[in-house]
Amino acid sequence: MVLLLIIALFFLDYTVLIIYYGIKWASIKPPPVVEIKTYPRFSIIVPARNEEDNISALLNAIQQQAYPKDFYEIIVVDDGSTDGTRERLKFFQEIKCIELPNDHTNSGKKRAIEAGVAASINEWIVTTDADCIPGKNWLSAIAGYIHLRDPVFIAGPVHMQAAPTILGIFQEMDFMILQAITGAAASANQLSMCNGANLIYQKKAFEKVEGFKDIDHIASGDDMLLMYKIWKKFPGRVVYLKSKEAIVETKGQMTWANFFNQRIRWASKARSYQDKRILPVLIVVYLFNLAFLVLAIAATIDPFYWCWLLVALVAKTVVELPLFIGAASFFGRTQLALFYFIFQPLHILYTIVSGVFGQLGKYEWKGRKVR
């Protein structure tokens, strides 16, 4: 009974947290269409490493934007690629290319972004990843929101494309939940959450916080850690853009090994969060998921706990489903709700494993071994 009481307390905390995020996500209204009288000038920075299969599609999509060509530039920073990425770039004449050496650094992406910012000539920095595809109205939606809200930092929406596999569907569902929490947290001015596949910030804000200074030794965190630095300097001017026109599509990982490497990389920056508001949230989420493992172990000793494990799984699903459906509706994927309960055990296991290895282990990313 003591064990069940402890788990019930974790469940109560988790329920309040998820319901809060669900309400905040639902409260974010899509921005109205704004007539753009003065076009913001964008410098789109694309850090790329070993992206020969993806970079051409991204650059084509950027060049086909329904936005005046004179008001944006494209800067690709090749971070020591060892494949044919640089050869692909030769087919695009109207972009700036910066080549960095292939040294073994923990913070290659941050170094690439800093090089891109240094070479940029416009007032707004837009970052995306080489394996992404934006819609044709991406920059127009961003420009309209800049006029509407006068922000210094915008976290844009990202959707992970799902391959028709268990791994693909699982990744897409997990990523949509993260996006809903990102939007909810940013809109409530509570947490610094975002994704580097779709970020927009003023160049002068980046310079004001001295870029990635003091966080440049961390392998991940070119998004959330930077967001927090800017939030501290410009409170109230960090926002989330909940616009379907601004969605950037990204690719999921093709193997379970790559998936866990990616999630471990994301989890590894938790030790470096300066935004201490996020730590209680991470602790509650992790301990709540860990409670399921404890229940499963207890059930192997006493079958009495199998019933409570099933009850907990159903209860977790019921609590999370409204938030997921809200996110899935925004991204046009509500049919995935049918799989939600089925993937609960897998999601719990992945949360536990990535949390542990993110703090203790090493991982490999883009051909580099990172500590």
CATH number at residue 230: 3.90.550.10
**What count of other Cβ atoms lies within 10 Å of the Cβ of residue 56?**
16
Both 248 and 285 in a single domain?
no
Which of these, 207, 209, 248, lies nearest to 231 by C-alpha position? 209
Both 15 and 56 in a single domain?
no
* pLDDT at residue 363 is higher than 70: no
Both 298 and 155 in a single domain?
no
- Dihedral sign from CA coordinates of 253, 258, 263, 265: negative
Q: Is residue 272 part of a domain?
A: no
Q: What is the pLDDT of residues 296-305, one digit of tens each?
A: 999 999 998 9
Domain boundary (203, 224, 255) is at: 255
Both 172 and 65 in a single domain?
yes
Q: What is the pLDDT of residues 47-78, one digit of tens each?
A: 999 999 999 999 999 999 999 999 999 999 99
Q: How confident is the model at residue 370 (pLDDT cuts 50, 70, 90)?
A: low
Tell me the β-bridge partners of 100: 79
Q: Is residue 262 part of a domain?
A: no
Instruction: Give the DSSP H or E segment for 158.
Output: strand 158-161
Structural domain tally of the chain?
2
What mean pLDDT do residues 151-163 have? 93
For 281, the domain range is 2-24+277-356
Are the beta carbons of 275 and 192 closer than 8 angstroms? yes
Contacts of 350 (CB under 8 A, 6+ apart): 174, 260, 263
pTM of this structure: 0.90
Both 164 and 61 in a single domain?
yes
Distance set, CA 298 to CA 11, 47, 277, 304, 306 (Å): 18, 47, 33, 9, 8
Domain boundary (195, 220, 255) is at: 255
Are the beta carbons of 347 and 170 closer than 8 angstroms? yes
d(CA 35, CA 108): 39
Both 41 and 135 in a single domain?
yes
SS3 160: strand
Q: Is residue 266 part of a domain?
A: no
Q: Is residue 67 part of a domain?
A: yes
Q: Is residue 148 part of a domain?
A: yes
What mean pLDDT do residues 174-189 have? 90
b/e for 152-164, b at 16 or more Cβ within 10 A?
bbbbbbbbbebee
Both 197 and 120 in a single domain?
yes
Q: Is residue 267 part of a domain?
A: no
At residue 274, the pLDDT reads 67
Domain boundary (255, 289, 322) is at: 255
Q: Is residue 263 part of a domain?
A: no
Both 207 and 294 in a single domain?
no
**What count of other Cβ atoms lies within 10 Å of the Cβ of residue 255?**
9
Q: What is the pLDDT of residues 80-127, one digit of tens each?
A: 899 999 999 999 988 999 999 877 665 689 999 999 999 999 999 999
Q: What is the pLDDT of residues 246-299, one digit of tens each?
A: 999 999 988 988 888 888 877 776 666 666 677 888 889 999 999 999 999 999
Both 289 and 330 in a single domain?
yes
- Dihedral sign from CA coordinates of 137, 144, 210, 227: negative
Both 142 and 242 in a single domain?
yes
Both 235 and 289 in a single domain?
no
Both 175 and 39 in a single domain?
yes
Which of these, 38, 44, 239, lies nearest to 152 by C-alpha position? 239
